[in-house]
């Protein structure tokens, strides 16, 4: 690979040029469908379907806690059916996408960075190039596209489970009927609540997978370098999720 991110280069200009060249290579690699196309489904399964257990685990307990917390806040001040509104809105628009993405930043971001980092330091990336494959087309594009497509999928399922967990908590542990919960759920509902969460999730998927790829392919220094860049991938992935979360709130709300 001619262009590597000059993250530690002395000159900021060189560093920016390196970043630009890296992303330009990735965009150009999008046209090489013959290379990344056959790999996409496998990556969607690995990054998305295989991440469902952790995402669902988090969603389940988020739904339970949110129902109990909102009941505690609303009791004696606000009609109790607002529990449904708070559970639905907050899980669909914020907690579902963000908590799922943060969990996947650890699982997916670390996985990608460690895999590509190991490939880099053991010259497997160079070997790929000598076999006339473009590493961005073979390694980066299928992972980033899989993240972009599968984070919303995982988020949608996690949101469904979170709301269901909130409903089950409300009817079993709180003095609330299904009708009241649904009334609360529908009272402030807008279709935008759903697509807002899914758009955010998709952007989080791009950020997390890109960070994994960037850090993985710029790994140097053997096992220590792999460990260092894997940590960086998770930290920067989480940071980007929070930055993008604020960005979408400002732009779309």
Residues that bind other proteins (CB under 8 A): 1-2, 28, 119, 122-124, 126-134
CA distance 189 to 25: 42
Nearer to other proteins, 41 or 127 (CB): 127
From the CB of 31, what's the least distance to other proteins, in Å?
A: 10
From the CB of 136, what's the least distance to other proteins, in Å?
A: 11
Q: Which long-range contacts (CB under 8 A, 24 or more apart) does 183-191 make?
A: 183/81, 183/84, 184/81, 184/82, 184/83, 184/84, 184/85, 184/86, 184/87, 184/88, 185/84, 185/85, 185/87, 185/88, 186/84, 187/81, 187/82, 187/84, 187/85, 188/85, 188/89, 189/88, 189/89
Nearer to other proteins, 132 or 246 (CB): 132
From the CB of 134, what's the least distance to other proteins, in Å?
A: 7
Nearer to other proteins, 48 or 135 (CB): 135
Tokens at 12, concatenated: 């900021």
Measured in residues, the chain has a length of: 253
Nearer to other proteins, 128 or 182 (CB): 128
Nearer to other proteins, 127 or 239 (CB): 127
Closest CA to 191 of 203, 180, 199: 199
Nearer to other proteins, 123 or 175 (CB): 123
From the CB of 132, what's the least distance to other proteins, in Å?
A: 4
From the CB of 35, what's the least distance to other proteins, in Å?
A: 8
- Name residue, tokens 């708070």: 86
Q: Tell me the HSE value of 65 on the side-chain side, using a 13 A CA sphere.
A: 9
From the CB of 1, what's the least distance to other proteins, in Å?
A: 8
């Amino acid at each position: 690979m001619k262009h590597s991110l000059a993250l530690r280069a002395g000159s900021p200009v060189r560093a920016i040029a390196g970043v630009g060249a890296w992303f330009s290579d990735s965009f150009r690699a999008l046209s090489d469908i013959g290379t990344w196309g056959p790999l996409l489904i496998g990556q969607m399964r690995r990054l998305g379907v295989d991440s469902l257990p952790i995402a669902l685990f988090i969603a389940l307990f988020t739904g339970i806690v949110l129902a109990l917390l909102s009941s505690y806040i609303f009791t004696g001040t606000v009609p109790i059916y607002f529990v449904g509104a708070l559970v639905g809105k907050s899980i669909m628009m914020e907690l579902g996408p963000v908590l799922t993405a943060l969990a996947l930043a650890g699982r997916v971001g670390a996985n990608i960075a460690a895999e590509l980092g190991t490939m880099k330091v053991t010259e497997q990336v160079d070997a790929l190039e000598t076999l006339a494959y473009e590493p961005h087309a073979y390694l980066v594009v299928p992972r980033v596209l899989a993240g972009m497509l599968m984070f919303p999928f995982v988020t949608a399922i996690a949101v469904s489970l979170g709301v269901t967990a909130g409903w089950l908590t409300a009817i079993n542990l709180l003095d609330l009927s299904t009708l009241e919960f649904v009334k609360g759920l529908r009272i402030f509902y807008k279709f935008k609540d759903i697509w807002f969460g899914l758009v955010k999730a998709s952007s989080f998927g791009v950020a997390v997978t890109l960070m994994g790829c960037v850090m993985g392919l710029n790994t140097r220094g053997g096992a220590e370098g792999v460990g260092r860049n894997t940590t960086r991938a998770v930290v920067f992935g989480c940071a980007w999720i929070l930055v993008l979360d604020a960005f979408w709130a400002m732009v779309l709300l």
